[in-house]
Copies of this chain bind each other. A is one copy, B any other.
């Protein structure tokens, strides 16, 4: 029993080791540098070991993405301002900072279409948490408008800004002006 336990624990540790290695490699050199061979080398095992933990490379990326959602949720929660200040702006800033500082992670989460269940299925808790933070930020300004729909619009705007900025499609020196314009529009000023 205890041996079984130890083995399971070791397996779980290695599982996480692979996820961390993939994330680190992607953040350091981009996802195109994350090959099963380099990943195997980084965790000091041979390639087939990866496949005893994950169904394929996609599954590894998916695992990284889900944990990334957890981290985003944590960051946004930490960024909740003291009462009185704009929750909407604080959330937007935190979100965009995350996207800018962890582009590879953000890419896995929301750009690459790794088919994480998003709809009616069993949505990972990390995703729920992240979206929940967005909802909480939108709630004070929703007014008559449908909360969830407005949150989706808010999220879309943030996502659009994040990805177009990362692709150098927007003027870099107008970031703050864009953010302010977007926020005041959504606030229904």
Contacts and interface: CB of A to CB of B under 8 A. Distances in A.
Interface of A: 110-111, 113, 115, 118-119, 145-146, 148-150, 152-153, 155-161, 163-164, 166-171, 174, 177-178, 181-182, 185-186, 188-189
A131 B128 CA distance: 35
A36 B168 CA distance: 28
A155 B164 contact: yes
A186 B184 CA distance: 9
Contact of A110 (B161, B169, B177): B169
Q: Give the 7 A-B CB pairs with smallest separation, nearest first.
A: A160-B160, A156-B160, A159-B160, A185-B185, A156-B161, A157-B157, A153-B182
Given A167-B110, A169-B110, A174 B160 contact: no
A182 B156 contact: yes
A163 B162 CA distance: 12
A155 B165 CA distance: 12
Contacts of A115: 168
A6 B111 CA distance: 44
A130 to B, nearest CB: 11
Nearest to A170: B152
A39 B178 CA distance: 41
